[in-house]
Amino acid sequence: MAKQLHENICEERMFSSIFNKHSKDLHNFLYYKFGELLNPKDKVQEAFVKLWENCAKISPDKAKSFVFTTANNLMLNEAAHQKVVLKHQQTKPKMYTNESPEFIMQESEYNDKLQKALANLTEAQRVAFMMNRVEGKRFKEIAALLEISTKAVEKRIYGALEKLRKDIKEL
C-alpha cells in the first residue's frame, strides 16, 4: 500500500525521475522519425506537461507509452499541415586532422548522399537504424523502447542498412 502511494506521477520527484529516464529517448525518437524542423524538443516538453496534467489518471508503468504516443501524435498533427523535408543536422566535429582538399570534398559528397538516403528510408526503419548505429543501442533495448519484437527490430535495421548501401551506390 505504501508503495502504491509512492508511485504517483503527481509527485515531483517521481515525475522528474520519469522525465530523466525517458525524455532523451523520446527526443531522439522524434528526431530520427521527423527530423529537426518540427522541433522535437518542444514536443517532448508538451508531452510531459500533458503527462503532468493527467498524472492522477496514469500509472507510472504506463507513463512511457503515454508520452511516446502523445508526442508522436503532436508531431503527426503538425506534419499533416506541412510536408516535411527531412534534414538531419550534422553536428559532429571533424574526425580527421590532416586531410587533403580532395578528401574533404569526397567526404562531404558522401555525407550528402548519406543524408538523402536516410531521408528515403521508412520512418520505422530510420528510427530503429539510427538508434542502433548512432546511439549504439542493442536490438533488445530498441525492441523494448518501440514495444515490438527483437526480430522485428533486426529486420528493420538490416533492411535499412541494405537500402542505404544500395541508395548510396546509385546516387
Residues that bind other proteins (CB under 8 A): 12, 16, 19-20, 23-24, 27-28, 31, 41, 44-45, 48-49, 52, 88-92, 95, 110-111, 114, 118, 130, 132-136, 138-139, 154, 157-158, 161, 164-165, 168
Cβ nearer to other proteins, comparing 16 with 77 = 16
DSSP 3-state assignment of 108?
Answer: helix
DSSP 3-state assignment of 29?
Answer: helix
Give me the least distance between CB of 41 and other proteins, in Å please: 7
Cβ nearer to other proteins, comparing 28 with 70 = 28
Give me the least distance between CB of 2 and other proteins, in Å please: 25
DSSP 110-144: HHHHHHHHHHHS-HHHHHHHHHHHTT---HHHHHH
Is residue 47 within 8 Å of 67, Cβ to Cβ?
Answer: yes
Classify residue 118 by burial, with Cβ atoms within 10 Å: 0-12, 13-18, 19+. Answer: buried
Give me the least distance between CB of 17 and other proteins, in Å please: 10
